[in-house]
Structure 1
């Protein structure tokens, strides 16, 4: 079994960072659905701005909102306005075709990668 990339949201912009939230990353539901992520799924979040990397889990945000919120302790590492990549992996023996998307500066779907 190997951890294989199953999807990523590339060049998303963090729209809110709240250290007082209980934890996780909130992602616009439309983006979650496009990539095939699921609520509660563990993801790796990488900041293109600061170089910070962390693991957390997904909470679905309002569809079409463009919301990308860093919540709880993660908000200490990745701040509002940072450009990030959100990466999901799957433990499998199979080769899988990942679904990778690029979003624009408003976190709206631009194209498949």
Structure 2
């Protein structure tokens, strides 16, 4: 994900789905936060899914491998 990229957030706890954008946090801080209006749609501790999309031509789409990142309660990346 890149700064200002549109992403979708799926709140596993409430079923709420909404779009927002990526803002920068300190490197390796584990910070995932929602600001502005989006902050009212999820609470600290809620499990969320962050979805980012990309566009490919047909050749690129055939070789693309999505990256799925799972994190622990402190937003540290889990192995595997």
Structure 2 unaligned spans of 5+ = none
Higher relative contact order (CA 8 A, sep 6+): 1
Distance 1:111 1:70 in 2: 25
The CA distance in 1 between the partners of 2:73 and 2:45, in whole Å, is 10
Matches for 1:1-113 after TM superposition, within 5 Å: 37-93=1-57, 94-95=60-61, 96-112=64-80
Task: Give the TM-score taking structure 2 as reference length.
Answer: 0.86
Q: Provide the residue aligned with 1:32 in structure 2.
A: none
Q: Distance in 1 between matches of 2:79 and 2:3?
A: 23
| Alpha-carbon shift at residue 63 of structure 1 (Å) | 1.2
What is the deviation of 1:77? Answer: 1.1
Cα drift, residue 92 of structure 1: 2.2
- 1:111 deviates by 2.6
Q: Distance in 2 between matches of 1:49 and 1:111?
A: 24
Tell me by how many angstroms 1:53 deviates.
0.7
Bigger strand share: 1
**2: CA distance, partners of 1:111 / 1:84:** 19
CA RMSD of aligned residues (A): 1.2
